């Protein structure tokens, strides 16, 4: 719709600023909620920053992995491309991001921070979980403006005719299903449900809480696996890669079923937002 804004000396892609707005809103809300969950407000912010660094690396790395088969099959041509046009080679191999790579990278970043500074990991995990779909929803709105992650050809109610987009060559050829907005809406619904669950649990005393550590994350992961698998059939961009009849994201969704089940089961875990009272209990809850 509006892929870039021209500031005169540079053209900025709208995706980044829209994503940043979502991230900033999430960080502000996380910092406000952190004390009531037993997480230090500064630890909450610093762990998010580690997580965002991991998100950037993970999203780019997984995008590179999806491009590897094409690079390997035509390796000589890729080497020639690097020599003739380094920009195009970088664009081809690192020009996009994959959500699942970002999610895994974010989790690893947060875990790294918690292990380094000896903080129980479940507190930040349960605190951040409701805000993941919030930020992702903003990201999908950014995708709608940027014209990436577009939908299948569709000429019914609510179809969208994108204008000519110099970054995405096939976007304007046909009317399309606004899958980005649908996914953003589903993410915002998920955020509303998770934040309501979280606030309900926080109002209860520790021993009366119904959820256990990690179950909020398990609920989110299960929900997202299902909707992403379904929404992939409404995606029209071939660039995301396919293996057989399944897209890369659908395969990753299937692989993430086991971690989702493990998180939902919550075997041998404390109640959600459990705050250890003694040092020995603190040691037990560390990863």
Partner 1 sequence: MKNFSGLSLALGIVGIVLSTVFGILFGFIPALIGLGCGVAALVLAINTKKATNNEQGTGGFVCGIFAVVLGSIFFIGCLACGSIIKDLTGGNYGAYGIVGGSCNAVDDARDAVLDTYGDVSEEDVRAFNDAMKELADAFKDFE
Spatial contact of 217 and 126, defined as CB atoms under 8 Å apart: yes
The residue count for binding partner 1 (CB under 8 A) is 24
Under the binding rule (CB under 8 A), the answer on residue 42 touching partner 1 is yes
Residue with tokens 């020009």: 95
**CA dist., res. 148 & res. 154, Å (int):** 16
The secondary structure of residue 273, as a DSSP letter, is: T
Torsion over CA: 50, 134, 36, 121 (sign): negative
Nearest to 209 by CA among 270, 256, 150, 262: 270
Q: By C-beta, is 117 or 233 nearer to partner 1?
A: 117
CA dihedral in degrees (258, 260, 261, 267; nearest 10)?
A: 110
Q: Return the beta strands (E) in the chain as ranges.
A: 4-6, 11-13, 242-243, 246-247
- Which of 2, 28, 49, 226 contacts partner 1 by CB under 8 A? 49
Q: In the complex, what is the shortest distance from the CB of residue 161 to partner 1, in angstroms, rounded to a whole number? A: 13
Residues 161-220 that bind partner 1 (CB under 8 A): 164, 166-167
Q: By C-beta, is 53 or 108 nearer to partner 1?
A: 53
- Which of 90, 152, 230, 254 contacts partner 1 by CB under 8 A? 90
Under the binding rule (CB under 8 A), the answer on residue 53 touching partner 1 is yes
Under the binding rule (CB under 8 A), the answer on residue 88 touching partner 1 is yes
- Which of 36, 69, 80, 117 contacts partner 1 by CB under 8 A? 117
Which positions lie near partner 1, rule CB under 8 A?
Answer: 4, 9-13, 16, 20, 42, 46, 49-50, 53, 85-88, 90-91, 95, 117, 164, 166-167
């Amino acid at each position: 719709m509006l892929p870039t804004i021209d500031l005169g000396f540079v053209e900025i892609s709208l995706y980044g600023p829209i994503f940043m707005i979502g991230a900033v809103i999430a960080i502000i809300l996380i910092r406000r909620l952190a004390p009531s969950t037993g997480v230090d407000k500064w630890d909450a912010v610093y762990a998010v920053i580690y997580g965002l660094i991991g998100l950037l690396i993970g999203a780019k790395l997984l995008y590179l992995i999806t491009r590897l088969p094409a690079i390997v099959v035509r390796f000589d041509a890729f080497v020639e491309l690097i020599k003739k046009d380094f920009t195009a080679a970088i664009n081809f191999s690192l020009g996009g991001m994959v959500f699942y790579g970002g999610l895994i990278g974010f989790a690893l970043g947060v875990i790294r921070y918690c292990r380094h500074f000896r903080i129980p990991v479940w507190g930040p995990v349960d605190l951040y979980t409701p805000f993941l779909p919030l930020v992702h929803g903003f990201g999908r709105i950014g995708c709608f403006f940027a014209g990436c992650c577009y939908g299948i050809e569709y000429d019914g109610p609510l179809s969208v005719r994108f204008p000519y987009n110099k970054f995405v060559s096939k976007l304007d050829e046909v009317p399309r299903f606004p899958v980005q907005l649908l996914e953003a809406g589903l993410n915002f619904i998920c955020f509303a449900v998770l934040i309501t669950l979280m606030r309900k649990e926080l109002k209860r005393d520790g021993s009366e809480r119904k959820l256990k550590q990690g179950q909020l994350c398990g609920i989110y992961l299960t929900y997202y696996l299902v909707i992403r698998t379904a929404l992939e059939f409404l995606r029209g961009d071939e660039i995301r890669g396919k293996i057989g009849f399944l897209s890369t994201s659908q395969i990753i969704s299937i692989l993430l079923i086991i971690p989702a089940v493990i998180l939902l089961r919550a075997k041998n875990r404390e109640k959600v937002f459990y705050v250890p009272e003694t040092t020995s209990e603190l040691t037990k809850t560390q990863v």
